[in-house]
Amino acid sequence: MEIYINGKYYSREDAKISVFDHGLLYGDGVFEGIRVYNNRVFRLQEHLLRLYESARAIALGIPIPREQMRRDVLETLRRNGMSDAYIRLVVTRGEGNLGLNPFACREPQVIIIVDTIALYPREHYEKGLAVITAATQRNLPEAVNPRIKSLNYLNNILAKIEAITSGVEEAIMLNSFGLVSECTGDNIFSICKGVILTPAISMGVLEGITRNVVVSLARQHNIPVKQVVMTRHDLFIAEEAFLTGSAAEIVPVVKIDGRLIGDGRPGPITRKLMEWYHHLTREEGVPVN
């Protein structure tokens, strides 16, 4: 494995950053998770755009232009020789002192890691996933806007702990009004009367790349999609439900808080979306070579 740090490549054992890096000390930084299928990077431009927008939102100047970042991502992939992979692209504030002041930090750190990832066992894609509703609320958008994909994931981790200790692998997070926001690492969708529903961005959700792809795929196949104010009631009465994310892709949800969704099996629209998404990810993308 070769890991990119600031234009140089290191082995896994030698890839290190300072213990004074504010990404470590305070979660001060941004990241993206990007998928590679058949030597093609899926939606690379969208991920890079979001990375640079997230950085701009926290006044973090990425030290290389976006086109150079694109070239560095592709070169890191070539060096690791993986045709199907997961890219973790990280930008930290850089080395500073033990105070909060981000402007005391030195040059930001750019890190590119290429590896594999599997968020859920294969059986969950075939039989569906059970989730719970977490007591941990989603951060207020007015405090930290969820459209910033930052390194500070403690809010999500606390909800993830609730899920795991409850015997499931994912949790739905509600916002401060008790409305459905998203899951710890994925966007959530439901299907009711043939209409696909997902919480609006204003509900405090990350504007997921995969979320947008699924919305586009559904509309291309004349399936109506609405971004709505969603309650747990809307989920409980849904005919189908599923989660989306770059790492997770599309995973069906068949049980929420112990209640079966639909007939307790992945539904036909969800299965179609999974099929269309699979084909799209193998056909589109930026070639590695």
Q: 13-57: per-residue pLDDT in tens? A: 999 999 999 999 999 999 999 999 999 999 999 999 999 999 999
From the candidates 16, 127, 149, 193, give the one annotated as an active-site residue: 149
Give me the mean pLDDT over the 47-73 stretch.
98
CA distance 169 to 155: 16
- The full set of domain ranges for the chain reads 2-115, 122-283
Residue 77 dihedral angles phi and psi, to the nearest 5°: -65, -45
Average pLDDT for 155-179: 97
pLDDT at residue 269 above 90?
A: yes
The third-level CATH classification (topology) of the domain covering 122-283 is: D-amino Acid Aminotransferase; Chain A, domain 2 (3.20.10)
Q: Residue 107 and residue 58: Cα distance in Å, rounded?
A: 15
Angle at alpha carbon of residue 155, lines to 254 and 129, rounded to 5°: 10
* Residues 268, 274: Cα–Cα separation, whole Å: 10
- Is 255 assigned a catalytic role? no
Residue 63: its pLDDT value, please?
Answer: 96
Question: pTM for this structure?
Answer: 0.95
What CATH number has the domain spanning 2-115?
A: 3.30.470.10
- Span 158-178, mean pLDDT? 97
State residue 170's pLDDT score. Answer: 98
As given in the structure block, the two tokens for residue 172 are: 């739905």
Q: Quick one: pLDDT at residue 195?
A: 98
Let me know: does 137 contact 162? Beta carbons within 8 Å: no
Model confidence at 214: pLDDT above 90: yes
